[in-house]
Chains A and B, each alone.
Chain A
Amino acid sequence: MNTDTIYPKVREIIADVLAFEESEIQRDGSLVDDYSAESIDFLDLVYQLEREFKIKVPRGMIEQEARRGLSEDFEEHGRLTDKGLEHLKTYLSEVPEDRFTPRMQVSLIPTLFTPETFCKIVLREMEGGEQAASD
């Protein structure tokens, strides 16, 4: 299984949650900037993905995974360090390079999420959480 097989259902759920037509959802679109997703939408999205794919996504998982191996070097005063930024780019490899900004606020990481990000999360959890989401 790969994210291609999961994507149609993930796109359907994203379109439903964010009130868009499925055809308007781009796999690398920014859920926040392109589809106006808010925090409550992410909660809804994760909940619906959990029920559809019979998985459990730990809350705050993306940020925790992105930090893995870096501990306090990931951020400084709420902003990504250079190391943290590179780490995040690797972890969120599906996000176009130009959306990452140096010293970006950690709280803005969700603005990077795309439909593909959630495909990877679903795949990872379906495979028992062992597969790195950056694969």
Chain B
Amino acid sequence: MGMIFRDSGIAGRTAIVTGGGRGIGREIVKVLAAEGADVTFFYLNNRGAAEALLAECGASGFNVTAQPVDVRNAEDCGRAVESVLGRTDRIDILVNNAGVLRDNLLPAFTEDEISDVLATNVLGVFHITGVVAPVMIRQRGGAIINISSVSGEKGGKGQTNYAASKGAINAFTRALAVELAPRKIRVNAVAPGLIDTDMSREVRELAGDQALDRILLGRYGTPAEVASVVCFLASRYGKYINGEIIHVDGGFKMA
């Protein structure tokens, strides 16, 4: 019997990764590009981080493009996807990774803390996917991977807004998987636990050892460990997985 993991089937594919400039998104861009995909990543306003990633990928010979896009804005999303199509004429992989965190106790929430999280984490996914889905329908194929969170299923203090947004993404994932399956488009989600990124730093620092104690593997995850699962779902090895929420959390959800 030969090796199982050899040709991922990603080489030559076209991918979009939202929120690709930093953290988990950055690793997703790199791993898909390393597999040979033509990757366009969208970022909101951290141009420095985007340029640093472009430089790193360029040095490795990867085919990566960056585009500033505000996923909260439907028209912006439409223009951005059209722009990608103008260059590539197809979109094989969409990773909805853009997300924000604004933790607070429910009574203390400002309206902005609620709406910012829902607008980016939920509406943003609707906006981008709404314009990419018809492209994949026309192609009769594609893989959509939404970055959810363990918070979508496991309660966490101060995270009602974030948890609600990620719970919505889990439901969105399952419903869209049913909708698009007739055209051989797979829709899945990856739900990271506590990952060592800038975005989760405050949460991790506040939780301290308490959080670590609840992770069965006893450590935080790395962005690369999340990216590898995204890559697996996008690859031909994940082609029979559909409508799933895959937790990458070191066992945090079970503890």
In chain A, positions 29-66 with a C-beta closer than 8 Å to chain B are 38, 40, 43-44, 47-48, 51
| Chain A residues, Cβ within 8 Å of B138 | 44, 47-48, 51
Which of chain B's residues 204-243 have a Cβ closer than 8 Å to chain A? Answer: none
Chain B residues with CB under 8 A of A48: 138
- In angstroms, Cα B180 to Cα A38, docked, is 12
Residue among B137, B180, B183 facing the most chain A CB atoms (10 A cut-off)? B137
Size category of the A interface is under 10
How distant is the Cα of A48 from the Cα of B138 in the complex, in angstroms?
7
B134 within 8 Å of A (CB atoms)? yes
Q: Does B179 contact A (CB under 8 A)?
A: yes
A residues within 8 A CB of B155?
A: none
Contacts of A38 in B (CB 8 A): 182
In Å, the complex CA distance between A51 and B183 comes to 19
Please, which residue of chain A has its CB at the minimum distance from the CB of B183?
Answer: A40
With the chains together, A120 CA to B135 CA distance in Å? 24
CA distance A51 to B86 in the complex (A): 12
Interface residues of B in 127-186 (CB under 8 A from A): 134-135, 137-138, 179-180, 182-183
A43 pairs with B137, CB closer than 8 A: yes
Closest residue of A by beta carbon distance from B179: A40
Q: How far is the CA of A47 from the CA of B134 in the complex (A)?
A: 7
Listed in ascending order, the chain A residues whose CB lies under 8 Å from chain B are 38, 40, 43-44, 47-48, 51
